[in-house]
Structure 1
């Protein structure tokens, strides 16, 4: 690890410890070897950096909106953390290849299946693109629900630390491997991936998936 990266990571760790009270106890449930798709709910730009920092020495690369690279400082941070720029309207071939490379290197690829931030902290419907990656590479997936970041701004105004809880579910995989999947099946798979996240959250936080039956027909837990 380069000296500049160590400095950035040290400052990042200090920032999280000063500004937040993070319950990291369930991160021990994240497998420490092998390729892994980490499905994370999205309420802030801080989920990726936090998981990157506190899962070390496990290598984690997060997908991030390409607009972050328009700012010189943010672009430096994104490159330091090995983030992958993505056009949220059109996930191109270069993005896919970068994602596949991370998994081929037996690292963690962190994805927000919702595609965009939730302003109120509740789940939005998952996007079909994440299902394409999951089906194409057929590697284990793990749901990680991060809750609390949506309260950061209000707490900072009151000079209060924000409590962050992290819930880690069981690793799971797609049942039917290989072949092609059509757009309808991709969306069903994306919704099922989101259900793995939903079960880690209270009913009021499930948003789009609130009140929907928790049924898994396309995926199964890895025993």
Structure 2
């Protein structure tokens, strides 16, 4: 068992007694090809929760500060996370993400760039649209519906993939694509928050 699979099992073992997880749309997740997995962000546990519920291995883009923390900093690269400097154009992170996508793997990111403290979806950063357009990948929108309260349900919803070819053909801007991604996440939130 590799470290990612071990980590996934560990997270499931630790979190399943605490929260009642419901996963919706698992079958919509493409089985192969580059995928940009974009989710809303409401809690620090979102990355491991998305990672444990996604049917494929996810390479998460994570803020650089986390890689400087004791223990966690050494563990993150072993579970396929890679650092990104926030608030600036990070060419190394961009190259890494595009390389992963073009090799037919899954990159996970939270387009809002930070957690939403009130649970309301914020405007997405144009980086999500950039990766979707340039990464030779389609987008899977994902909605996490909390709250993360002990013994309460946490729902993870994977939506229909957003096919990027039409956007590339009409030379859509990264901002346009990010708006489409955020609209898809909002739709999942609206349809599943009952």
* TM-score, length-scaled by structure 1: 0.77
Choose which of 120, 126, 141 in structure 1 pairs with 2:139. Answer: 141
Distance 1:179 1:170, change over 3 A: closer
Per the TM alignment, residue 180 of structure 1 is displaced from its structure 2 partner at its CA by 6.8
**Residue matched to 2:178:** 190
- Taking the aligned partners of 1:28 and 1:169, their CA distance within structure 2 comes to 10
Deviation of the 1:41 alpha carbon: 0.6
CA offsets, 1:119-152, max 9 Å, x none? 111100011111111111231111111111xx33
Q: Runs of 4+ in structure 1 displaced over 4 angstroms?
A: 4-7, 178-181
Structure 1 residue runs without a partner (length 5+): 206-223
- 1:171 aligns to what? 161
Quickly say closer, same or farther: Cα 1:118–1:80, change in 2 above 3 A.
same
Give 1:186 shift. Answer: 2.8
Looking at structure 1, the residues matched to 67 and 40 of structure 2 have their Cα atoms a distance apart, in angstroms, of 22
Deviates more, 1:189-198 or 1:118-127: 189-198
**Residue matched to 2:19:** 20
Q: Distance in 2 between matches of 1:49 and 1:80?
A: 14
TM-superposition CA deviations, 1:157-194 (whole Å, max 9, x none) = xxx3231112221111232426976xxx3323222210
- Say if 2:28 and 2:161, in contact at 8 Å, map to a contact too: no
- Indicate conservation of the 8 Å contact 2:50/2:156, yes or no: no
Deviations along 1:178-214, one digit per CA (max 9) or x if unpaired, are 6976xxx3323222210011111128x8xxxxxxxxx
Query: Greater relative contact order (Cα 8 A, min sep 6): structure 1 or 2?
Result: 2
Query: TM-score w.r.t. structure 2 length?
Result: 0.87
Q: CA deviation at 1:24?
A: 1.7
Larger radius of gyration: 1
Given that 2:4 and 2:80 are in contact with CA atoms closer than 8 Å, whether structure 1 keeps it comes out as no
Distance 2:65 2:161 in 1: 31
Looking at structure 2, the residues matched to 6 and 136 of structure 1 have their Cα atoms a distance apart, in angstroms, of 29
Contact 1:52/1:81 (CA < 8 Å) preserved in 2? no
Q: Which of 65, 90, 93 matches 2:91?
A: 93
**TM-align CA RMSD:** 2.2
Aligned to 1:112: 110
